[in-house]
């Protein structure tokens, strides 16, 4: 049976001091979380302090992105080897925001090209993380325009094929997938739970085709996109949804703890 996983993506929020305070509050609110993985993903600069603050607790720490090269002249980048040295457990890859696909655009449209993630770079990042025994949380999802055009399935299939190219089926056990419809990220809109479950089921079918049925039966598929305490229980009760990747709601301890409780 697949265990649930709830991950909080703090994005570009919170200093190290603020992050430690939030992590401590989350730990206090959670108590014991048997058969459930809880992850917080702070900004890079807060990772060491947050990691130390949750030592010997059920809460794991993840990163929000990674670069695929071990080292080199790549200004501002952080490698999987560096994250491994911090004993990171998880890392998000292919988030719509790193792909330049925003549900709510908060930067000038002329700057979107700054965010240039591709399926190829996502693939390279996954391979680097697996090499260092860090669990990738692979994000896939469609924009509103793609959904309206009936392209949801083809878009997600293309993203999955590109991200998982050349990865041995046995390694897929070490990957988590998050279905994050772009139109529901930061917009307050949430995909209806039955539709989210349907799409997660389609993802599982594609994994079975690319790897094996056993991989598909065991890989965890999350839903992300305006997950909140009032919709989490319905989403997490669906058979194909194994938890959530939570954005804004993970920045408030009580709300995030309520979401985690919904997954128990």
May I ask the CATH class of domain 58-246?
A: alpha beta
Band (131; pLDDT cuts 50, 70, 90):
very high
pTM of the model: 0.96
> Do residues 172 and 129 make contact, with C-beta atoms less than 8 angstroms apart?
no
Whether 13 is a known active-site residue: answer: no
- Give the lowest-confidence range in 86-95, 131-140, 186-195: 186-195
pLDDT (average), residues 30-50: 89
Tell me which of 95, 117, 142, 146 is the catalytic residue: 95
Active site residue 195: no
Task: Kindly give, in sequence order, each residue whose CB lies less than 8 Å from that of residue 204, ignoring residues fewer than 6 positions away.
Answer: 216, 217, 219, 221, 240
Return the pLDDT at 33. 60
> Rounded distance, CA 210 to CA 200, Å?
15
Of 117, 142, 146, 180, the active-site residue reads 180
pLDDT tens string 61-71: 999 999 999 99
Q: Which of 241, 235, 257, 224 is CA-nearest to residue 64?
A: 224
Task: In whole angstroms, give the CA distance from residue 194 to residue 2.
Answer: 19
């Amino acid at each position: 049976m697949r265990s649930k996983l709830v991950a909080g993506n703090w994005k570009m929020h919170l200093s190290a001091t603020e992050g430690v305070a939030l992590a401590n509050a989350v730990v206090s609110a959670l108590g014991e979380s048997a058969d459930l993985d809880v992850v917080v993903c702070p900004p890079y600069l807060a990772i060491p302090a947050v990691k130390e603050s949750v030592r010997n607790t059920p809460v794991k720490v993840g990163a929000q992105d990674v670069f695929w090269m071990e080292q080199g002249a790549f200004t501002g980048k952080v490698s999987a080897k560096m994250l491994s040295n911090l004993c990171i457990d998880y890392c998000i890859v292919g988030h719509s925001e790193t792909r330049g696909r925003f549900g709510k655009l908060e930067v000038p449209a002329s700057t979107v090209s700054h965010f240039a993630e591709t399926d190829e770079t996502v693939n390279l990042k996954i391979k680097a993380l697996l090499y260092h025994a860090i669990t990738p949380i692979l994000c896939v999802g469609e924009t509103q325009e793609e959904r309206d055009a009936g392209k949801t399935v083809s878009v997600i299939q293309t993203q999955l094929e590109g991200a998982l190219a050349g990865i041995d089926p046995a390694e897929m056990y070490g990957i988590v997938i998050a279905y994050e419809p772009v139109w529901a990220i930061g917009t307050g809109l949430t995909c209806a739970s039955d539709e989210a479950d349907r799409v997660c089921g389609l993802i599982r079918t594609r994994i079975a085709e690319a790897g094996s049925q056993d991989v598909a039966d065991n890989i965890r598929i999350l839903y992300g996109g305006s997950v909140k305490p009032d919709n989490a229980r319905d989403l997490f009760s669906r058979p194909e949804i194994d938890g959530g990747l939570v954005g804004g709601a993970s920045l408030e301890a009580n709300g995030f703890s309520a979401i985690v409780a919904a997954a128990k």
